[in-house]
Each structure stands twice: as C-alpha cells, then as structure tokens.
Amino acid sequence: MPTIHDVAKLAGVSRSTVSRVLNNRPGVHPKTRERVLAAVRELNYAPNFAARALKRQRADAVGLIIPASFREPRSDEPRGYVLTEIIRGAYNFFTEQRLALTLLDDQGTFRFYQALFERRQVDGLLFIDLEPDPHMVERLKGLDVPFVVIGNVDAEDVVCVDVDNYESSRRVVYYLYQMGHRRIAFINGPQRRFASRDRRAGVLAAVTELGLSLPDAYDQPGDFSERSGQKAMWRLLEADPRPTAIYAMNDRMAIGAIRAARDAGLRVPEDISVVGFDDIPVAPYIRPPLTTVRQPLYELGAAAARLLVQRIAGQELPSRRVLLPALLVERESVRSLPTEA
Amino acid sequence: MPTIHDVAKLAGVSRSTVSRVLNNRPGVHPKTRERVLAAVRELNYAPNFAARALKRQRADAVGLIIPASFREPRSDEPRGYVLTEIIRGAYNFFTEQRLALTLLDDQGTFRFYQALFERRQVDGLLFIDLEPDPHMVERLKGLDVPFVVIGNVDAEDVVCVDVDNYESSRRVVYYLYQMGHRRIAFINGPQRRFASRDRRAGVLAAVTELGLSLPDAYDQPGDFSERSGQKAMWRLLEADPRPTAIYAMNDRMAIGAIRAARDAGLRVPEDISVVGFDDIPVAPYIRPPLTTVRQPLYELGAAAARLLVQRIAGQELPSRRVLLPALLVERESVRSLPTEA
DNA sequence: TTGTATGCGTTATCAA
DNA sequence: TTGATAACGCATACAA
C-alpha cells in the first residue's frame, strides 16, 4: 500500500504538503492541491491509521462496553433487541463523527478499562448498564478517560443517560387511574437495580398524589423473570380486595402475570388489567397484546454517544444526568373501568 | 501515561530488553525479566496500541461489516436478535484471540473496504449477509484482505459460512412426511436470495425422494413479510385438494399464514399444520407455538470468526464453504396425521 | 507557499 | 544476555 511518501513523489511535492492537503490545512496553492489530490486518487492512497493515531495521540475510536451477560448463551432476556437498538443509536452517531466503534465486554476490572485508554486504543468509553459497581466508576473518574454511562449509576458527577423511570412509572399509574382503576398493584424488580427503585418511586408518588394507597399486599417483589411475575400474580390474586390492575416492572413479568391470571380462570383485561414495561418484541404478539412502556432505546444510544463525543472534545457538559421520556404504548391488556363514584 | 522508555529507566535496562520481556522473547535473564515486570506493574504500563500497530504492521482488530439495514429504524424484522447472536459468537472468539472487534456498516462501496484494510485499520473483514453484490466480492478478492462472509455468496473461492438451508429444508419435508402429511405446500422467499433458493431446492429434493410432488398451486411466492405469508395462505387455501401442511421459508410468513388460516375459520394445527424457519423470539409465544427451524446463529458467528483468524494467519483453508446444521424445534403448530394408506 | 527535520512509542536488526 | 539504532507512516515547528 502506498504511503504519503509515494503520493508526494508522484505529485512532485514534499510529504508535508501532502499532509497539509489531506488535513485541509490552509496555505496550499490551489494548483498544488489539485496535483496532490490527483496523485492520491491515482494511487488509491489512504493514510495509515496507526501512524496517524500515534502522531495525533488519539485513536479516533471509542469503546462500547457491553454487559458481561452478553458473552453468555441465549437466555429469555430480550437482550438482543435492547442491545441492538442502543448500539444502533450510538453507532450511527459515532459514524457521523468519523469515530470507529469497538466492541468490548465488561470485564468488570478497572485495570482493563484503564489499559484500554492508556494504550490509546480508544478515546473514550461508553458503558451500557454498568449497574452494580459504583466503586469502579469512582476509580474511572480518577483517570482522565472520558466516559458516559447508559443507565443509572450510584456515583456523583458521572455523565449518564437513562430513561426517565420515575416519570414513566408515574404516568402509568395516572393512565390506569384515568381508565378508572383505583386498586392498582405493582410487581417490582430486584431492589438493587436503580430501574426498579426509580419505577417504584414513581408509583408511590402517583399513588400518593392521586389519594390512593399501596398496601403491602399490592406491592409484590419479582426478579424480572417471567416465572417471578407468575408467582407475584398468585399472591396478588389472593389479596382482598383483589386489585383491578397490575403494573409489572417489565414485560416478562407482565407476561408471567397474565399467564397466572389465565391459569386462575381470569380473563385479561376483562377481569384484570396488566401493564408492562419495555415493549419487548413479543409484546404485541401475546394474548392480549400487551399495553406497555416503550423505552427510547435508540435515542438512549444516540444521546449517550453525543455526550461522549462532547466529553472527548473537552467540552464541559451542561448536566451530568440526562433522562429521556418513555412512551406508553396502548394495546389491549388494559380495560376501561366505570369509575366507582 | 508511561512509555516503554519509562519502564526501561525504572528497571535500569534498555528499551529493547523491556520489549523482549513484554513480548515473551527468549534470551532474557530471569532476574532481569523480574525487574522489568516489577517496573511494568509499578508504572501500570500498557504498550501504546498505535505504536505497536505501526511497527508490526497489523491492527490486531477485525472489522465486522453489518448489513446497511442496521442503520435504519426499528422494523418488524427480528434483526436485533439475529445480529446479536451472530455478533456474540464472533465476538467471543475474537476476544479469545485478543483481537478487537470494530463495528462497521455496509456502505456497499468497494473503495471503503479497500481503504479500511490499506489504512491497516483492520486485519480482516467479516461480512454479515452480503447477499446482493457478488461483483464487490470479486473485487475484494483482488485485494489481499482476508475476509469471510456469513451467508451465501455467488462467487468462486470465497470463504463463507452459512446454515445448511438445503438440508434443513429437506428435513422439514421429511418431518412433515413422518407426521403423516402428504399434501405439503410451500411459501417461498424472494428468489434473489440464496437462502430462498436453497431452501426451495431442499423441498424439491425431499418431495421427489419421497415420491410426492409440488404442484404449482402448492408453490407460492412470498417476500419474507408477514403480510406476504398471509396472502400466500389465501391462495393456498383455494388449492384443491387443500394442503394439510404449509412450510413457510421464515417465521414471519408462517405467522402471516397462521393468521390467514384463522381468519378463514381454520384451526392450526387441527385443520392445517404450519412450519416456519428461523425461530425468532416470538415463535414460542404465538398461538399455537410455532414449530420451526432454529438457525445456529451463535455458531455461525463463531465459525466465521475462526475461519477469519485462520485466513489472517495466512493458513490455507480446507474448504471454502462451511455449512452448519440447523435444529428443528418442535412445538405445537404441526399435527400428526393418520397416514392415508 | 513549500520543504526540512524531528518525534510519536514500538519492535527488530545488528553489535557488543 | 543486553544495548544502540534504525525504521514504521504521519504531522508539525520551523526554516526557506
């Protein structure tokens, strides 16, 4: 492959001139520029990536740190869809900015991320769902590596972008209320997850604002699995009075809940309404099609990418926490109830 | 960040010695090696990626070329799932080999791929589903860039790995036959796709081997969309005699077909059986759960990655076409028929 | 407006 | 067993 030297020779100029033309530096005679460009085309020249990175001290690449679960075999989790949409959003933005996107998995070790950056293999890091380790984030802040987290993080001054779990949840309860429901129950996710806590907080806020209450019997734990949704529903069905609407923190639990209801001889939504969260691909296909909250996955990826690029450019970021609104997708799993006046 | 020079100084040796230690070269005194390693640890040194690439003339990175459709917004297509599984397989293998994986989209221009390689940004290219352009592949072969294609390709001497569409399809027909079906119809995909052609060829082979036939009325075109499956089913239902089993080339068309059957007042599988292809995530969730063929997506990615690494290493490849077996997943959309003796 | 010289951080060749 | 030195290909400060 040709080098800048070959181009210079062919164009009859020095290497510096070629470099100037290639980098759009001013102060090159149009005529000369023309000749150089012609030579570039003729030789099909493209600047060596490594040499440029070495000289410029930047990689023109960012690392996307995907959850360690990515390396594990197929599971129930709609990971594929979620991940793809987020990556797509980030990828499109980075590509526009002429930044390469390198896939890396979450090895959980600080040392690994440090090396990545110190080796200048990447100019910045984008973490997807780095939930559990605020400690690592703290250490990361010690480095000067620009990074952005998708999902919430329990650390100060970390740039992160997330769906507005609190507000979305609050909206769901309001929606249910508008549909005439007053006895609204709730299937939660693991409490160690921010998403669960925030969504639950939104529910509590709405319930309070609306003058309702959330008795313990209506506040069931779950672990995001379909099975746990099913079990939670069993308990919910024994509550007295029975709730008229169930809000599950994710679609898989909602699906489990619907199954449990049906097994108990109840119809959804005629006898009991169910709302999920995520809008996973199967949501429209189950019976009944699931009313749920769609996360702005693509936008999450794109927003995070934009923030990361700004950080790499050294800009001060206006806010360190960006919350994106989610969309309530009405399908058929919620019934409108005549309000009990 | 520290350089090899700093390490050398701290360890009281020359840069060459440090380099030797770092690259596990023989001929270093154990004592010296020890000192160097200690210095490396103390400084938290990691070799500069660009400098190394420049010197070694390789990037230690491969490019994954994803379909251009990736950049487009969410569609019905189960692209997310398929892509994720393939990438996961490839990613895990590359990571083992200490190769970084860079995401790149299919810009369709030969020039782009050429530059990628000539810039030494990647050591090789992995194409996912590069269906339409054998011409580009031919040109790619002209370069000395190692590449492997996932999916079939209409060109000679190209290393590609794919699911064994022909054989899998053949198996489906045998399966249906064993279940007692004799009037088996077929909903095809777009003929320009290899997958469609190969799957159809498998059907024809099986039909012939089993002494059945595939009348024109049983051989319906489709375009992979749910809607087209539905339409094909309408035509199929008018055939006389009506087929007892339908084999659709993908799950979405199968879902469309089931819908059409139900709309026509037929029950699946009691009145008519349906088989799909792909095992998309919704397949187990539809009514009835869909019997279908699961592609070995993860394995496809892993196999392709392995082949690419071999090519990069300059090994001659034993075969230039690798076909992986698919798995028939029996669910509830096929009924066992008493054989008409 | 253009060219010369130097260095980015490694690895590899050759001497010692 | 080790060290000096020369590339790798590019960008830039400075000189012309």
Per-residue pLDDT tens digits for B59-72: 999 999 887 777 77
Amino acid letter, B159: V
Residues of chain A with pLDDT under 50: 76
Cβ contact, residue pair A103, B120, below 8 Å: no
B215 min Cα distance to partner chain A (Å)? 33
Q: Kindly list the residues from chain B whose CB atom is less than 8 angstroms away from the CB atom of residue A104.
A: 100
* Token pair recorded at residue B42: 């103390």
Q: What is the pLDDT of residue B68?
A: 76
Phi, psi of A23 (to 5 degrees): -100, 15
**Closest C-alpha to B78, from B303, B254, B304:** B254
Residue A160 makes CB contacts below 8 A (sequence gap 6+) with A148, A149, A150, A151, A152, A153, A320, A321, A322
Q: At what angle do helices A30-43 and A4-11 cross, to 10 degrees?
A: 120
Residue A270 makes CB contacts below 8 A (sequence gap 6+) with A335
> Measured in angstroms, what separates residue B7's CA from nucleotide C4's C1'?
32
Phi, psi of B183 (to 5 degrees): -105, 90
Mean pLDDT, chain A, whole residue set: 90
Q: Kindly list the residues from chain A whose CB atom is less than 8 angstroms away from the CB atom of residue B121.
A: 49, 100
**What's the DSSP call for residue A73?**
-
B290 min Cα distance to partner chain A (Å)? 12
Tell me if A222 sits within 8 A of A197, measured CB to CB: no
Protein residue nearest nucleotide D8, by CA to C1'? B55
* Token pair recorded at residue B156: 């000679």
Q: What is the pLDDT of residue A339?
A: 65
Amino acid letter, A201: A
The answer to whether strand C lies under 7 Å from the CB of residue A55 is yes
pTM of the model: 0.89
A224 min Cα distance to partner chain B (Å)? 17
Straight-line distance from the first to the last Cα atom of chain B, in angstroms, rounded to the nearest whole number: 81
**Closest C-alpha to A188, from A134, A257, A238:** A257
Q: Which nucleotides of D are covered by protein (CB under 7 A)?
A: 1-5, 7-13
The answer to whether strand C lies under 7 Å from the CB of residue B9 is no
Protein residue nearest nucleotide C7, by CA to C1'? A55
Q: Which nucleotide is nearest to B8 (CA to C1')?
A: D3
- Segment A162-195, tens digit of pLDDT: 999 999 999 999 999 999 999 999 999 998 888 8
From the list A46, A74, A103, the residue facing B103 with the nearest CB is A103
Q: What is the pLDDT of residue B78?
A: 55
H or E element: which one contains A247?
strand A245-248
> Measured in angstroms, what separates residue A41's CA from nucleotide D14's C1'?
30
Cβ contact, residue pair B95, A105, below 8 Å: yes
Protein residue nearest nucleotide D9, by CA to C1'? A51
Q: What is the pLDDT of residue A303?
A: 96
**Under DSSP, is residue A328 helix (H, G, I), strand (E, B) or coil?**
strand
